[in-house]
Amino acid sequence: MTTATIELTPGAPLTLLSEDEQMFQQSVRDFAIEKIRPLVHRMDHDAKMDSDLIKSFFELGIMGIEVPEQYGGAGSTFFTAVLVVEELSHVDASVGVLVDVQNTLVNNAIIRWGTDAQKSRYLGMLAADTVGAYALSEAGSGSDAFALSLKAEDRGDHWLLNGQKLWITNAAEAGVFIIFANANPDAGYKGITAFIVERDFPGFTIGKKEDKTGIRASSTCELILEDCRVPKENVLGEVGKGYKIAIETLNEGRIGIGAQMLGVARGALEYAIAYAKERKQFGKAIADFQGIQFQIAQAATDLEAARLLVYNAARLKDSGRPFLREAAMAKLFSSQVAERVTSISVEIFGGNGYTKEYPVEKFWRDSKIGKIYEGTSNMQLATIAKTILTDKL
């Protein structure tokens, strides 16, 4: 039996969705299955996103979901972006994170903190044909996000940025970067400032691309800034207020990663269910054995719980209500569920699951990053504990 012979049960439960949301979700799902799925194996092997596929994301309108219509975007909601990330990730998590970073981090930051001129120039680009990247991490700045060594020096009519960034998602494809640097190291985190940097700015280059275990088609690269000249008007928000932009944007981004992990778990489980119905041992399908049934039942229950956490956090965000704890819970739990469900799915496939001929091993590899980027699981637990101990449940 090969991957192509496994017939998947269509669709995920349409939990808490309006009729319009269901129709939109289905359209993205169809796109993912028809256009992305045939390319997944090759992109994973080559560790490279298909360039024509990226063009199709812009044509579909999913690279500027919350961007106002006046700038060429869809003018839709954060919840819509979450649905898109889930549907893409249930086919390929690499595609899911490319679109997620574009919408929940880069676009969101410029929508919230950009000047009119910045919005006019950059939101138009990001909605039309330009991939964006969000550059916070450095060699010594991971969970301690504000231990930045990249320096920004005020030169009167421009800034000079010097230093390196590591593990930057979308870096190989991006034309616009939001880069965090410290304009006043003596002030600590209060010197951190966000800058909008274009790929062709003098002194800016893309460095080494990481050879990763999972989400291999998603580029993760080093950024090198050597006297990178950035116009004064490209400061995003206020000088010294970059920490606020980073914190608040990442809170939203964690919901997006929750959606990615939700999609990963769902994609693996769909394959496992289909395989269990087809694979025969002792004269009957393995889906008829209670041991397999209980594993699938537990996985489906965990998946639905993760979906409710992710959807609730996204709805809270759109309604303008506090969502810090809920975002942390959504990312924490969905990443745990993705790791468990993909592992179970590999086991249901048996020896076949441990080969690249079948799709579940890729979902398994892709799941691990969910506990690491945009805040490790320990950082999510710290956030949850802090909000519980200082607030009422």
**Domain shared by 59 and 75, yes or no:** yes
Domain-embedded: residue 10? no
% helix, strand, coil for the chain, step of 5? 60, 15, 25
Domain-embedded: residue 283? yes
Q: For the domain that residue 82 is a member of, what is the CATH number?
A: 1.10.540.10
d(CA 387, CA 393): 9
Write down which residue in 105, 129, 153 finishes a domain: 129
**Domain shared by 201 and 331, yes or no:** no
d(CA 78, CA 22): 15
Domain-embedded: residue 48? yes
Domain-embedded: residue 11? no
Cβ partners under 8 Å of residue 378, min gap 6: 143
**Domain shared by 359 and 260, yes or no:** yes
Domain-embedded: residue 78? yes
Q: Which residues belong to the active site?
A: 374
Domain-embedded: residue 13? no
Q: For the domain that residue 142 is a member of, what is the CATH number?
A: 2.40.110.10
Q: For the domain that residue 345 is a member of, what is the CATH number?
A: 1.20.140.10
DSSP 351: G
Cβ partners under 8 Å of residue 230, min gap 6: 152, 158, 159, 160, 161, 195, 196, 197, 201
Based on C-alpha coordinates, what's the Rg of the chain?
Answer: 21
**Domain shared by 102 and 185, yes or no:** no
Half-sphere exposure (Cβ direction) of 115: Cα atoms closer than 13 Å: 12
**Domain shared by 138 and 75, yes or no:** no
Specify the number of domains making up the chain.
Answer: 3
**Domain shared by 378 and 284, yes or no:** yes
Report whether 182 contacts 152 (CB < 8 A).
Answer: yes
Write down which residue in 209, 239, 269 finishes a domain: 239
Write down which residue in 129, 154, 170 finishes a domain: 129
**Domain shared by 346 and 287, yes or no:** yes
pLDDT at 393: 60
The bridge status of strand 131-135 relative to strand 174-182 is: parallel
**Domain shared by 218 and 288, yes or no:** no
**Domain shared by 251 and 386, yes or no:** yes
**Domain shared by 113 and 22, yes or no:** yes
Domain-embedded: residue 1? no
pLDDT per residue, tens digit, the chain (393 aa), is 344 446 555 454 545 788 888 899 999 999 999 999 999 999 999 999 999 999 999 999 999 999 999 999 999 999 999 999 999 999 999 999 999 999 999 999 999 999 999 999 999 999 999 999 999 999 988 788 778 999 999 999 999 999 999 999 999 999 999 999 999 999 999 999 999 999 999 999 999 999 999 999 999 999 999 999 999 999 999 999 999 999 999 999 999 999 999 999 999 999 999 999 999 999 999 999 999 999 999 999 999 999 999 999 999 999 999 999 999 999 999 999 999 999 999 999 999 999 999 999 999 999 999 999 999 999 999 999 999 998 766
Domain-embedded: residue 8? no
The parent domain of residue 74 ranges over 18-129
**Domain shared by 249 and 384, yes or no:** yes
Q: How many CB atoms lie within 10 A of CB 282?
A: 7
**Domain shared by 33 and 125, yes or no:** yes
